[in-house]
Amino acid sequence: MRVCILGYGLSSLALTKALVNEKIYVDVFCTKNIKKISQSRTIGISKKNINFFNKHIINIDKFIWKLKKIHIFSDNLKNEKLLNFQNNNDQLFSIIKNHQLHEILEKSLKKDKYFKKLKLKENFKFFDKYNIVIITDHFNSITKKHFNKKIIKKYNSFAYTCILDHQSISNNIATQIFTKRGPLAFLPISNKKTSVVYSFKNYKKKEDQVIIDLINQYNFKYKINKINKIESFELKSLNLRSYYHNKFLAFGDLLHRIHPLAGQGFNMTLRDIKIILNIIKKKRQLGLPIDYSVNKEFEEEIRHKNFIFSKGIDLIYEFFNLESKLKSNFLSKSIQFTGNNPTLNKFFSSIADKGF
């Protein structure tokens, strides 16, 4: 079996590594539009997905920073906790830098005989030799021709990311604050470093100093030595209407993109990888051909789940957006009351960990 993957981002490399581990030949084609991996962005991975990643992709336990608690606040409740998720005995969530995970995957793949990195040709006839062609790249003619129908929502917001260098503390609690300007997250990556993601509601990009002032305003935990380079990107959600066309399968950010407030974007992709691996394994065990039927089964199994999950994240965003407009703490108080229920708290934690 031989699979072709177009794209060289994290989704592509994680899927590639999972496939070569199953002794499947994978050719990864890079386009001319490869973006430089951000030095300031981090990825949150749930406990369930870390276990899957370690077992079926590559063990990253020594590179991740484990979080035992997530504290959630709202401007409307002052210093009161809105919600509190925790696991005192083990990690609730883990954080790793984007570029670090990319380097780990790339280094491992270069040593694998089932992997090839190639340059994308203009003539696409060579795709005939592949059982499946998986596409994560937005900038090629196949994407534009077959995967241009999507449901897009623009938030009229920009996400600002940076790394804080600060004095050493016991740093295993993530903090999310729903400010009047948008959600602000402090995500520890070591005892001396913390990642910041601020989803700022504004049509135009803000000057760095504005973001720095707001980070300082909401920081009540860290004695900051340095705020490193701030990077930004426009926020929007996306759901592709059709996951595949014959042997071509869309994947990763090309399939779905969600608001970063819950740190679930890459977790959705890992759940997708798990599904496609299971489909391929079952077909091989039964001696069935590996062809575009994999794509059909993949869409039937996961598309509706991804759509519901992404809409759930969007609902959370709109809920707090509505509260900031109402200038009332009634909605926050309701969430606080609900979150104190152990059964509901456990249910929401399970959804964040496993998905649907």
Strand partners, 196: 162, 186
- Say how far apart CA 247 and CA 127 lie, in whole Å: 9
The model's pTM: 0.91
Give the chain's residues under pLDDT 50.
none
Q: What angle do CA 83, 40, 203 make, to 5 degrees?
A: 75
Q: Which two tokens stand for residue 93?
A: 């969530």
- Torsions phi, psi of 206, nearest 5? -95, 155
Rounded to 5 degrees, what are φ and ψ at 331? Answer: -65, -40
Residue 170's SS3 state is coil
pLDDT of res. 347: 57
Residue 228 pLDDT:
95
| pLDDT in the model for residue 44 | 94
pLDDT at 334: 61
Please name the helix (run of DSSP H) or strand (run of DSSP E) that holds residue 165, with its range, or none.
strand 150-166
Evaluate whether 222 touches 166 at the Cβ level (below 8 Å): yes
Contact (CB, 8 A) for 250 and 240 = yes
Per-residue model confidence (pLDDT) at position 315? 87
Instruction: Provide the pLDDT for residue 21.
Output: 97
Continuous H helices in the chain: 10-20, 47-56, 98-110, 141-146, 208-218, 265-285, 293-326, 330-339, 342-354
Q: Class assignment of domain 2-354?
A: alpha beta
Summarised one tens digit per residue, pLDDT across range 247-293 is: 999 999 999 999 998 889 999 999 999 999 999 999 999 999 888 89
- Which structure tokens are listed for 97? 């830098």
Residues 6+ apart with CB under 8 A from 346: none
